[in-house]
Structure formats: C-alpha cells, structure tokens
Amino acid sequence: MLVIGFVGFPGSGKSEATAIAQAEGFFPIVMGDAVRSYMRQRDIELSEKNVGIIANKLRAEHGMDAIAKMCIPAVRSLTSQKVVIDGLRGIAEVNAYRREFKRDFKLIAISASPEVRFERVKGRSRPDDPRSFKRFEEKDERELAWGLEEALSAAEYSIQNEGTLQELKFAVSCLLERLVELAPRNNINISIRTPIHETEAQEKVERAIRNIFPDAALERANNYIKGISSTLETFATLLRKQQIRATAKAELMRGLTLDSFEFTLNKQVALAGKVNFSQDPLGPIFVRVVAPLPEELIDAITNESLK
C-alpha cells in the first residue's frame, strides 16, 4: 500500500492536490472530515471556531496524534493500494502515520504565500473558514501550535503552489507518477553484491549498502556480501538531494538491457550515505535492477523536473 500525505497551511492547495491524486486513482481520507463527523454525531455546530475548539479538545484529551489515529482504521479497511491523506496538521500526526505505514507513507508539503492563501480561502464556501485576515492569521498560529512547521520540515517532497490549478495538477501528477513507479512492487527485483576484504568490517560494508537500499536483505557468501532489495526510492532521493540526476541517467543508461539495467557504486562514499559512481579500490557495490520497463524506470528515477 502506498499512502501519500499532503501537509500545508490553510489555503495552500492541499484539498486540490488531494482531488488531483483522487483523479489519479488514490482513495482520499480527509482528516478534517473526521473532526466534522465527530461534531455532527454530537450535534455541534459546524463553524471555524467550533472546529478549532473540538480539534484542540481531541488532541488535549487523546494526544497530538488523536485525529490521525481516528483515520488510520479507515485507511486499513480500504481495499485500495493507493491512498491520499488530506489535512495533516502537525509532526505528531506525521509520526503516527509513519509508525503505522513505515516506508509506505510519503509526505508532500504544499506551500503558498499568506496573501495567496487568504484569497483562495475567501473564494471557497466551507462554514469553518475564517472571513477576515486577522482570523486567518489566528488559524495559522493555531496550526503552528499543533506542530505544522515541524511537519512541513519533515516532508520528503515539496510543491510550490503560487500559480494556476493547471500548474498544480501537472506538478502533483508528475510527483505521484514517480512515487508509484518507485514504490516497492513484486515485479521489480534489485540484486546487490560487493566484495569484502579481510581489512574491511562486515558491519560497515552492510551499512554502506543499506544507506542506499535500506530494505536490503543481506548475507555473506565467501568473500562477497550479497542481497536483494525491492525499492530504489532512497537511491532516487539521494540523486535529487545531491543534484546528480543527469550524471546518474548517463550511468544507468550505459547498463540498460531489454529487461534490466546495471551500475556500480563507490562503497566508501556509500558508507557516508551518498551516491557516487566512481571506482572503489576495495571493489564497488554491483547493482542489477530487473523491471518490465527498465528505461521508463530510469526516467522516473532521474527526472530533473521533479523537486
């Protein structure tokens, strides 16, 4: 199961991003709906003030991740393998989803300036939306108190939403396509091996591999460490952070065949948590990726238009 979470200030475009994800086949879980449903069941008037009061009450009584915990059973009950969470407000909620879904949960930050966000909020018709800029700023402060800033900082991916809805749709669709492509699947098989010398500590060699392939199942066979993995997500994230996607694409395409691609990584650099394709005097990490459409997978990993 792939679970996507959108996080951002009110009016940043979270709900629009959720709608785009829904059109891409993701089943939506709206956290605010959980609060509003709670209020309806107790005949509490739906207003911006009351939603804030009840949300604070739930968090005070049951923890800052209370609303996330209300939503997790709903996610688990779904047959859909692609789910989008709308309305994350704080780091405690992010951590709740990460504890439950581990690496299957991906966090995306949606951002826009306060002025742009307020104009958007004024144009929609939710009963709990603030109608003055002062109330709008108060709502921002309330959500900051819930740990929103920490949640935004914890996002693996970010989208700046200052433009048109069409521009947002393009950015969200491209990112979702990439995440679906990189999600662990049975039809992608990654085999890994590297020589180990008497001067090397096995723990360090294994750590070097897991810095790039965290889910790798490893074993020692004579003078080699061998293993398998099912996802290139960390590898792709490092390419993006190191800004070496063009270099990586050339390296990966060099080893392309009809059903796979091969490449080598510098073991010492991997031990430092980075990707480097240069030669290693102690022997490189050999990687072979078997996939139905290997060239498309390379494109997804090295797409420079994605943040």
pTM above 0.75, yes or no: no
Query: What element of type H or E holds 247?
Result: helix 245-254
The CATH superfamily assigned to 189-302 is Ribosomal protein L5 (3.30.1440.10)
Q: Give the distance, in angstroms, between the CA of residue 212 and the centroid of all CA atoms in the same chain.
A: 17
Provide the pLDDT for residue 109: 93
List the chain domain ranges.
2-182, 189-302
Amino acid at 147: G
Q: What's the average model confidence in pLDDT over 277-293?
A: 91
CB 212 within 8 A of CB 232: no
Strand partners, 83: 3, 27
Would you list the DSSP string of 224-263? EEEEEES--HHHHHHHHHHT-HHHHHHHHHHTB-SSEEEE
pLDDT in tens, 175-214: 998 888 777 654 688 999 999 998 999 999 999 999 999 8
What is the CATH topology of the domain spanning 2-182?
Answer: Rossmann fold (3.40.50)
